[in-house]
Amino acid sequence: MQPVATLLSPLDPAPVQVLREGGRSPFLLIADHAGRAVPSALGRLGLPQSELDRHIGWDIGIAGTTARLSERLDACAILQAYSRLVIDCNRPLDSPGSIVERSDGTPVPGNLDLDAHQRAQRIAEIFEPYHARIAAELDRRASAGRPVVLVAMHSFTPSMAGNDRPWHAGVLYQRDARFAHALLEALRDEGDLVVGDNEPYRVSDATDYAIPVHAERRGLPHVELEIRQDLIADEAGQQAWAQRLARLFTALQDRFARS
Ligand SMILES: [Zn+2]
């Protein structure tokens, strides 16, 4: 890749936010869609702030839920600060979903007719540093012989294309369902939840990046967890879900967190 001029200015947030870097939990939390920042040079991608605030701009509620879960577990969490509309950090770079020209009915003017240089900037300054940080954390744990369970935290909109979604949460996976199915069972045993098994989405090499690359290739136990956005839109909901997940994760820890 050719060297690129700077997209991010000193006034823009860093792309990667790391919480509890020295956390002792085997769980490593990542949140590809935690943020809704847009580099100031991109002029909000030509969108009103109200569009960036919608589910198309970020995973509503997941940053707060992840931060609270990180605290309860003493688990390191790695979060992406930029909106998925700038570049989607959970899409392969050759996927049509990487930099979208339209999302859930909304055209994204700032993503039309991008040239190779513009794409390369977003990759080099937003996508790559985020995934490099995750890889570095996993390398560090591997060298230290520390066990790890990778949890990709996401949230989904309650209604998509006119269809209401019944699930409170969903566990997603592709080649390795070990941890996902154990968590599914634990969530269903709670008794008050409708939990999707590879719903409302499923992990695939074509539509996902983080789990196939960071977890499956390394053979790490993992799950991609989706929580419905209306349940974690406010602080009380985020606390309640963090508390519940911390309890369930801790109960599963000894079965999966082996070095
Ligand atoms: Zn997401």
Which amino acid appears at position 184 of this protein? L
What is the distance in A from the centroid of ligand 1 to the CA of 185?
A: 22
Q: Which residues surround ligand 1, an ion (CB under 5 A)?
A: 33, 59, 154
- Asked whether residue 163 is assigned to any structural domain, the reply reads yes
Two tokens at 258?
A: 């082996």
Would the pLDDT of 3 be above 60? no
Residue 158 is part of a domain; what is its CATH number? 3.40.630.40
What is the distance in A from the centroid of ligand 1 to the CA of 120?
A: 22
What is the distance in A from the centroid of ligand 1 to the CA of 71?
A: 21
Number of domains in the chain: 1
Query: What confidence score (pLDDT) does residue 259 get?
Result: 54
What is the distance in A from the centroid of ligand 1 to the CA of 138?
A: 21
Output 49 or 162, whichever has higher pLDDT: 49
What is the distance in A from the centroid of ligand 1 to the CA of 144?
A: 30
Query: What confidence score (pLDDT) does residue 162 get?
Result: 85
> Whose structure tokens read 């949140």?
31
- Asked whether residue 221 is assigned to any structural domain, the reply reads yes
Beta strands across the sheet bearing 149-156: 16-19, 77-80, 27-31, 149-156, 222-228, 169-172, 195-197
Burial of 200 (0-12, 13-18, 19+ CB in 10 A): middle
DSSP state of 192: S
Q: Are strands 169-172 and 195-197 parallel, antiparallel or unpaired?
A: parallel
* Cross-strand bridge partners of residue 77: 19, 29
Query: What confidence score (pLDDT) does residue 257 get?
Result: 85
Segment 68-91 shows an average pLDDT of: 98
Mean pLDDT (the chain) is: 96
Query: What confidence score (pLDDT) does residue 1 get?
Result: 41
- Asked whether residue 218 is assigned to any structural domain, the reply reads yes
What is the distance in A from the centroid of ligand 1 to the CA of 210?
A: 11
Query: What confidence score (pLDDT) does residue 213 get?
Result: 98
What is the distance in A from the centroid of ligand 1 to the CA of 90?
A: 8
- Asked whether residue 249 is assigned to any structural domain, the reply reads yes
What is the distance in A from the centroid of ligand 1 to the CA of 73?
A: 21
Would the pLDDT of 166 be above 50? yes
SS3 22: coil
What is the distance in A from the centroid of ligand 1 to the CA of 57?
A: 10
**Domain limits at 235?**
16-256
Give CA 5 to chain center in angstroms.
27
Give CA 74 to chain center in angstroms.
19
What is the distance in A from the centroid of ligand 1 to the CA of 56?
A: 9
Tally of CB atoms within 10 A around 32: 28
What is the distance in A from the centroid of ligand 1 to the CA of 43?
A: 23
- Asked whether residue 4 is assigned to any structural domain, the reply reads no
What is the distance in A from the centroid of ligand 1 to the CA of 38?
A: 17
Would the pLDDT of 4 be above 70? no
Query: Going by C-beta distance under 8 Å and a sequence separation of 6 or more, which residues neighbour residue 221?
Result: 149, 150, 176, 178, 179, 215, 256, 257
DSSP state of 11: T
- Asked whether residue 10 is assigned to any structural domain, the reply reads no
Query: What confidence score (pLDDT) does residue 2 get?
Result: 46
What is the distance in A from the centroid of ligand 1 to the CA of 22?
A: 25
What is the distance in A from the centroid of ligand 1 to the CA of 100?
A: 14
CA dist., res. 196 & res. 154, Å (int): 14
CB 242 within 8 A of CB 62: no
- Asked whether residue 2 is assigned to any structural domain, the reply reads no
Q: What is the pLDDT of residues 85-139, one digit of tens each?
A: 999 999 999 999 999 999 999 999 999 999 999 999 999 999 999 999 999 999 9
What is the distance in A from the centroid of ligand 1 to the CA of 159?
A: 15
> Whose structure tokens read 């977003």?
122
- Asked whether residue 244 is assigned to any structural domain, the reply reads yes
CA dist., res. 38 & res. 87, Å (int): 10
